[in-house]
């Protein structure tokens, strides 16, 4: 698990290798990740958008931007958390992701960015 705290918001990430799939006549490696967002600040906040940079060992880069996470824009009061799961397909057995969440602080009405630390995506059978 990797964790990072930005402006009182703690991000924790767990990853799993899910298996291999054929997509468009190409072998793909599927990974899932579970992210927990914890509000350790004194203010209520809302997640508005996400930005991901997904790398694989074949030097391919995919950038994903969008509203919310898995169709939700969670509001977190102080002490609350939100956990969600998602996934990605890579062309290789090794990769990594990192990014950020754009959030708003309801007390100050200011937007801020919460860093999601880099996390590895590794198929265990390919590790030596």
Average pLDDT over residues 87-91: 95
Q: What is the mean pLDDT of the chain?
A: 96
| Whether 71 contacts 83, CB under 8 Å | no
Cα separation values, 78 from 24, 49, 64, 65, 115, Å? 45, 20, 28, 26, 18
Q: What is the 3-state secondary structure (H, E, C) of 99-123?
A: EEEEEEECCCCEEEEEEEEEEEEEC
Contact 2, 117 (CB under 8 A): yes
Distance CA 95, CA 60 (A): 9
Instruction: Work out the average pLDDT over 116-123.
Output: 97
Mean pLDDT of 91-105: 97
CB of 29 within 8 A of CB of 17? yes
For the cut 70, the answer to whether the pLDDT of residue 128 exceeds it is no
Q: Of the candidates 128, 55, 118, 117, which has an alpha carbon nearest to the alpha carbon of residue 92?
A: 55
Band the pLDDT of 106: cuts 50, 70, 90. very high
Instruction: Choose the weakest-confidence range: 18-27, 33-42, 82-91, 107-116.
Output: 18-27
pLDDT of residue 74: 98
pLDDT digits (tens, 9 = 90+) for 40-63: 999 999 999 999 999 999 878 999
Q: How confident is the model at residue 125 (pLDDT cuts 50, 70, 90)?
A: confident
Q: What is the pTM of this model?
A: 0.94
Instruction: Return the pLDDT at 23.
Output: 84
Q: Using 50, 70 and 90 to split pLDDT, how confident is the model at 94? A: very high
């Amino acid at each position: 698990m990797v964790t990072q705290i930005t402006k009182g918001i703690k991000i924790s990430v767990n990853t799993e290798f899910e298996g291999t799939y054929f997509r468009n006549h190409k072998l793909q490696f599927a990974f899932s990740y579970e992210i927990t967002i914890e509000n350790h600040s004194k203010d209520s906040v809302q997640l508005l958008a996400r930005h991901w940079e997904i790398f694989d060992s074949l030097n391919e880069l995919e950038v994903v931007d969008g509203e919310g996470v898995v169709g939700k824009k969670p509001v977190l009061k102080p002490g609350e958390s939100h956990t969600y799961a998602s996934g990605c397909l890579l062309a290789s057995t090794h990769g990594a992701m990192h990014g950020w969440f754009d959030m708003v602080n309801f007390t100050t009405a200011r937007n801020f960015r919460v860093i999601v630390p880099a996390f590895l995506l590794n198929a265990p059978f390919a590790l030596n």
